């Protein structure tokens, strides 16, 4: 394996330095050039060979060289074509080089273009250049704004330098965007072909380009003729045959299938607080339940509303929106967390992250810049600054200085801290209750804490007095400690260190002891199962092949390979005739017989016949039944409400059920009567208005040109 890895590593290294049978080499920290035969063409006397972007290639028998932190052109015969006067140098087709250097008249860096002989063909007067075949998009900074134009490689101006952007479309065409965010089609000779009434234009494929206008797409040929008006949600040209689809159509419906409204949208989803998230090609908006626009601006993403606020995204940054659609905090943050009565933000500045605390009304509470602010822990907000931890209160005031290695645990106004490698306890006034000492500690409550030393655990008072100690494992149960002693017994100790209950160890001959349930514990002894009480006394003899814990007075028991149920008196309550059983919950148990499932009542009668592939009890007491890949619904008494013929069921608890069949959604009553036909690709319920959102997805179809 090491040999394979080394081979791959060598291959990767060669690919980095080879270019058309030439490769660089290093000698005494300097770089030179060799050919494939290993002959030195350029001695190792340069800081770098190749290009300022880190790549390497030989173009027209020249490459770049770096000397005194500046770049120039050098031939493979070791002749310096240009002096090292450029701050950057990269190749550009066709066999040209874009270079930048400091302007003679100012300190500004300017960009131009040179040939392989070093001849300047585009003067150094631009902020940047992008070469596309025989044309160059150039731009300069004018009043703090970049302005774009188009020239040929003889520096002839074709399109004036007054536009926000110019980009190639292929097929000798360019898209030109003005400062009103509208785009026009231009020829390579600078002729304007269309007006500035298009939002944007895609690259041209097979003489066609997709045009974008007001969130819709259409088709235009290279002559600027509109072939298809912008009426489509999406157009694809990849297959060679144009395909398009319209926007998804959403129907707002009553339960009786009355149409309230039609809406075109990618998605229409409830996001809480009586608000709807409307997503289209142009972005995301917030609507009220009547589908009226609430938000004033479109955003990229919107999270559900919490506490009347929602986190939204715009251009990769996050902000906070109020439920009336107004912006509480502008999109200026990498992360935003909305709590019950606070907002925590995280923003970046100069590569460093800073957190701040705000009220739900948008008032900033923290004046200091913290590296991190955590959620409220019941006493304060933990904060971090320069690698140390502290805390701030609800007003953003620092009540614990950022001076601690870590905050170990918190209980009301007490904080266990690690300070300069030692452990202690302070209050929120930063008064030491337990001065720092070497052993780790953890708060139990306002009066007690644990101290850990090697294999010993000490229970101590807040004054430092030892109350109890043990080397045994223990767990906290309410106001007591449950300690497992060495012989297997369990002692119950209160927080004053008093042993208030001793549970004797169970029979060592027991192979396994299970947790207590309804006062009895399952045991395994001599390969058989039975039950003991919490004092270890045998209550049900170990004569069963397997058992389940007692629930609702009965326990599953396996006899001669079949499962039934026994009561606390060790009498068979339900005969062992099942392959699998579950414990009883709310009067029902799941049973399996002949590979099928049913629901059993505590009296032994079947609430649901054993003939289903799966059964699930729902929170409302109804039963989801499965046969193969289809589901149905039964009531709590086992009466079939919906036959198992659906792919999906959502019981709305209001007499109606959303169902899916053959890939489409509809609505039925609990009696199976269809009220909204199975014709939607998605069906959602909005309970406040008591309406349904049905989505009909638009499919791609071939465009007839």
The 10s digit of each residue's pLDDT in 590-640 is 999 999 999 999 999 999 999 999 999 888 889 999 999 999 999 988 899
**Number of Cβ atoms within 10 Å of the Cβ of 429:** 8
Cα 680 from chain centroid (whole Å): 29
The 3-class secondary structure across 239-278, one letter per residue, is CCCCEEECCCEEEEECCCCCEEEEEECCEEEECCCCEEEE
Q: Among candidates 96, 85, 89, 61, which has minimal Cα distance to 75?
A: 61
* Residue 410 token pair: 């918190």
What are the angstrom distances between the C-alpha of 682 and each of 232, 473, 518, 648?
A: 21, 54, 46, 11
Cβ atoms of 413 and 405 closer than 8 Å: no
* Residue 534 token pair: 């919490």
Burial class (CB in 10 A: 0-12, 13-18, 19+), 320: buried
Cβ atoms of 86 and 93 closer than 8 Å: no
The 3-class secondary structure across 376-432, one letter per residue, is CCCCCEEEEECCEEEEECCCCCEEEEEEECEEEEEECCEEEEEECCEEEEEECCCCE
Burial class (CB in 10 A: 0-12, 13-18, 19+), 353: middle
List strands edge to edge, sheet with 555-559: 546-547, 555-559, 562-566, 572-578
**Number of Cβ atoms within 10 Å of the Cβ of 405:** 15
In sequence order, which residues have a C-beta less than 8 Å from that of residue 125 and are 6 or more positions away?
Answer: 110, 112, 140
**Number of Cβ atoms within 10 Å of the Cβ of 69:** 9
Cβ atoms of 642 and 652 closer than 8 Å: no
Predicted pLDDT of residue 506: 59
List strands edge to edge, sheet with 88-92: 88-92, 96-102, 109-114, 120-126
**Number of Cβ atoms within 10 Å of the Cβ of 118:** 15
What are the angstrom distances between the C-alpha of 72 and each of 11, 176, 403?
A: 29, 34, 53
CA atoms within 13 A on the CB side of 229: 1
Phi, psi of 549, deg, nearest 5? -65, 155
- CA geometry: angle 609, 627, 678, nearest 5 deg: 120
What letter would DSSP give residue 548?
-
Predicted pLDDT of residue 511: 72
What is d(CA 170, CA 363) in angstroms, rounded to the nearest whole number? 51
- CA geometry: angle 27, 30, 31, nearest 5 deg: 90
Cβ atoms of 500 and 483 closer than 8 Å: no
Q: Among candidates 161, 173, 223, which has minimal Cα distance to 202?
A: 173
Cβ atoms of 91 and 126 closer than 8 Å: no
What is d(CA 328, CA 372) in angstroms, rounded to the nearest whole number? 21
**CATH number of the domain at 615-705, out of 2.60.40, 2.70.70, 3.40.50, 2.40.10?**
2.40.10
Fold topology of 159-245: Thrombin, subunit H (2.40.10)
3-state class percentages of the chain: helix first, strand second, coil last, to nearest 5: 0, 60, 40
Residue in this structure with the two tokens 């701040």, named with its chain if needed: 356
Q: Three-state DSSP class for 519?
A: coil
Q: 244-247 — which CB contacts under 8 Å span 24+ positions?
A: 244/217, 244/700, 244/701, 244/703, 245/698, 245/699, 245/700, 245/701, 246/698, 247/280, 247/281, 247/698
Beta strands in 119-194 (DSSP E): 120-126, 128-132, 135-142, 145-152, 157-163, 165-170, 173-177, 183-187
Beta partners for residue 150, in sequence order: 137, 159
Predicted pLDDT of residue 534: 82
Residues of the chain with pLDDT under 50: 1-18
Pinpoint the residues of the chain covered by CATH 2.40.10.360: 159-245
């Amino acid at each position: 394996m090491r040999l394979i890895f080394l081979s791959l590593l060598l291959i990767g290294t060669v690919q980095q330095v080879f270019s058309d049978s030439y490769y660089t080499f290093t000698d005494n920290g300097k770089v030179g050039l060799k050919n494939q035969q290993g002959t030195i063409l350029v001695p190792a006397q340069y800081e770098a060979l190749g290009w300022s972007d880190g790549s390497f290639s030989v173009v027209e028998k020249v490459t770049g060289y770096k000397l005194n932190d500046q770049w120039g052109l050098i031939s493979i015969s070791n002749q310096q074509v240009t002096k090292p006067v450029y701050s950057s140098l990269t190749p550009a087709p066709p066999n040209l080089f874009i270079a930048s250097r400091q302007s003679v008249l100012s300190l500004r860096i300017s960009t131009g273009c040179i040939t392989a002989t070093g001849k300047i063909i585009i003067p150094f007067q631009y902020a940047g250049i992008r070469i596309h075949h025989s044309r160059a998009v150039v731009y300069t900074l004018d009043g703090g704004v970049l302005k774009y134009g188009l020239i040929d490689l003889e520096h002839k101006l074709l399109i004036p330098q007054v536009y926000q952007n110019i980009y190639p479309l292929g097929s000798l065409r360019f898209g030109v965007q003005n400062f009103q965010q509208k785009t026009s089609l231009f020829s390579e000779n600078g002729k304007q072909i269309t007006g500035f009434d298009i939002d944007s234009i895609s690259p041209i494929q097979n003489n066609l380009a997709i045009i974008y206008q007001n969130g819709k797409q259409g088709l235009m040929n290279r002559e600027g003729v509109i072939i298809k008006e912008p009426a489509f949600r999406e157009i694809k040209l990849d297959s060679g045959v144009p395909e398009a689809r319209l926007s998804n159509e959403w129907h707002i419906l009553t339960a009786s299938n009355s149409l309230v409204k039609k809406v075109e949208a990618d998605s229409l989803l409830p996001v809480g607080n009586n608000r709807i998230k409307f997503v289209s090609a142009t972005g995301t908006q917030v609507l009220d339940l009547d589908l009226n626009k609430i938000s004033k601006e479109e955003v990229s993403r919107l999270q559900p509303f919490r506490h009347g606020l929602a986190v939204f995204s715009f251009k990769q940054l996050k902000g906070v929106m109020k439920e009336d659609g107004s912006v509480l905090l502008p999109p200026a943050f990498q992360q935003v967390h909305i709590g019950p009565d606070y907002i925590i933000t995280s923003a970046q500045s100069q590569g460093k992250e800073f957190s701040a605390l705000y009220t739900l009304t948008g008032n900033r509470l923290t004046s200091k810049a913290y590296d991190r602010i955590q959620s409220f822990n019941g006493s304060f907000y933990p904060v971090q600054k320069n690698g140390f931890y502290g805390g701030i209160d609800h007003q953003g005031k620092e009540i614990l200085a950022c001076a601690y290695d870590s905050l170990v645990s918190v209980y009301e106004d007490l904080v266990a801290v690690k300070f300069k490698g030692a452990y202690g306890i302070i209050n929120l006034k930063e008064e030491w209750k337990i001065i720092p000492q070497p052993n780790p500690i953890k708060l139990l409550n306002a009066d007690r804490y644990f101290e850990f030393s090697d294999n010993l655990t000490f229970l101590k008072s807040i004054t430092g007095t030892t109350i109890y100690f043990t080397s045994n494992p223990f767990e906290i149960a309410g106001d007591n400690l449950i300690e497992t002693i060495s012989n297997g017994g369990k002692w119950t100790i209160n927080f004053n260190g008093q042993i208030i209950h001793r549970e004797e160890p169970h029979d060592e001959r027991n192979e396994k002891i299970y947790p207590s349930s309804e006062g009895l514990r399952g045991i395994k002894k001599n390969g058989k199962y039975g039950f003991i009480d919490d004092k270890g006394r045998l209550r049900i003899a170990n004569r069963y092949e397997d058992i389940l814990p007692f629930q609702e007075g009965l326990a599953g028991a396996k006899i001669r390979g079949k499962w039934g149920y026994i009561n606390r008196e060790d009498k068979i309550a339900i005969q062992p005739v099942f392959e699998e059983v579950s414990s009883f919950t709310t009067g029902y148990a799941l049973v399996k017989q002949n590979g099928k499932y049913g629901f059993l009542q505590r009296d032994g009668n079947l609430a649901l016949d054993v003939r289903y592939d799966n059964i699930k009890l729902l929170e409302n007491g109804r039963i989801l039944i499965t046969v193969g890949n289809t589901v149905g619904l039964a009531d709590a008494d086992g009466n079939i409400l919906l036959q198992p013929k659906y792919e999906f069921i959502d019981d709305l608890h209001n007499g109606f059920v959303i169902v899916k069949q053959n890939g489409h959604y509809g609505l039925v009553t609990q009696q199976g009567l269809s009220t909204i036909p199975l014709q939607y690709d998605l069906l959602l319920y909005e309970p406040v208005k008591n309406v349904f959102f049905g989505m009909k997805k638009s499919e791609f179809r071939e465009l007839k040109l």
